Amino acid sequence: MLYHNYCSVCHGDKGDGRSRATGSLSTLPRDFTSADSKRELNVERIAAAITHGRPGTAMVSWKTQLSETDIRLLAEHVHQTYVLGDSRVQVTAPAAPISGTKAHGGREADAASTSAQVDMTAGLPNGLKGDFKRGGAFYLANCATCHGARGDGAGPRAYFINPKPRSFVADVSRSSFNRLALYAAVSEGRLGTEMPAWSKVTTPQQMADVAEYVFQAFILARQPLAGPATAAR
């Protein structure tokens, strides 16, 4: 679901602006269920905010990561489900696969995406700067057991996990995961999978470090590195 993958990390699963990431944001996310939102927001305004972001807030532009169709579907979902408060309304998706329908977890999640290109130059949220070496040590200690030392989703626990851990070296991961997406996945985890929400037990800097490591070691690298142990040393 697009909202869960791209929006709930800040706006919350219920659209009320309450999420585990709220405390680390410089400005509070919009509460789509508030009286102000019900009075001010329509589908077009929501779509414009998704497309262009909101200057002076933590809301970034998603036009390089979502197609126009995805943005329209997402805006309609937010308006109908949270602004109007009618969760019974279902938005009809197009026959073509929707980009980013799985933010994390499971090779079955590696479905074909739309042609929307992810901005690989985007930095981490809130001005965070990840440390590659520290991130490698964190990855080795906490992530490699599932995702594998080479980021291929073939860690020693992967055999026992369903859905399978994400392979960061798969083409779909390398074309869709930038630093922002990795940080969100680490922070919020993935419902229905073994991927936990690390925001409960780590600091924003630690999450930034491991996101930076995964981005450089697996997403950008044309060949997987020997493993995070090398970076940790």
The CATH number covering residue 119 comes to 1.10.760.10
CA 38 vs CA 2, 15, 71, 218: distances in Å: 21, 12, 20, 43
Could you tell me the residue range of the domain that residue 43 belongs to? 2-83
Cα 199–chain centre separation: 13
- Residues of the chain above pLDDT 70, percent: 78
* Cis amide prior to 228 (ω within 30 degrees): no
Same domain, 71 and 144: no
Q: Is 31 domain-assigned?
A: yes
Higher pLDDT, 117 or 232: 117
Q: Decide: 53 and 61 in contact? Cβ < 8 Å.
A: yes
Instruction: Give the range among 6-15, 56-65, 66-75, 147-156 with minimum mean pLDDT.
Output: 56-65
Mean pLDDT of 182-192: 84
pLDDT at position 197, please? Answer: 87
Average pLDDT of span 40-61? 84
| 99, 117 contact by CB (below 8 A) | no
Mean pLDDT for the stretch of residues 120-143: 93
How far apart CA 142 and CA 198 sit, in angstroms, is 10
* pLDDT on residue 117: 56
Looking at the 3D structure of the chain, how many domains does it have?
Answer: 2
Is residue 94 included in any domain, yes or no?
Answer: no
Q: What is the average per-residue pLDDT within 26-48?
A: 87
What's the whole-number average pLDDT of the chain? 79
Residue 93 placed within a domain = no
Which pLDDT band, with edges at 50, 70 and 90, does 219 fall under? very high
Q: Do residues 113 and 223 both lie within one domain?
A: yes
User: What pLDDT is attached to residue 232?
Assistant: 42
Whether the predicted pLDDT of 189 surpasses 80 = yes
d(CA 230, CA 14): 42
8-state DSSP, 215: I
Q: What is the pLDDT of residue 87?
A: 53
pLDDT at 166: 92
The beta-carbon contacts of 107-111 under 8 Å, at least 24 apart in sequence, are 107/153, 107/163, 107/164, 107/166, 107/167, 107/170, 108/163, 108/164, 109/163, 109/166, 110/166, 110/167, 110/170, 110/172, 110/173, 111/172
pLDDT tens digits, 3-25: 888 888 888 889 998 876 666 66
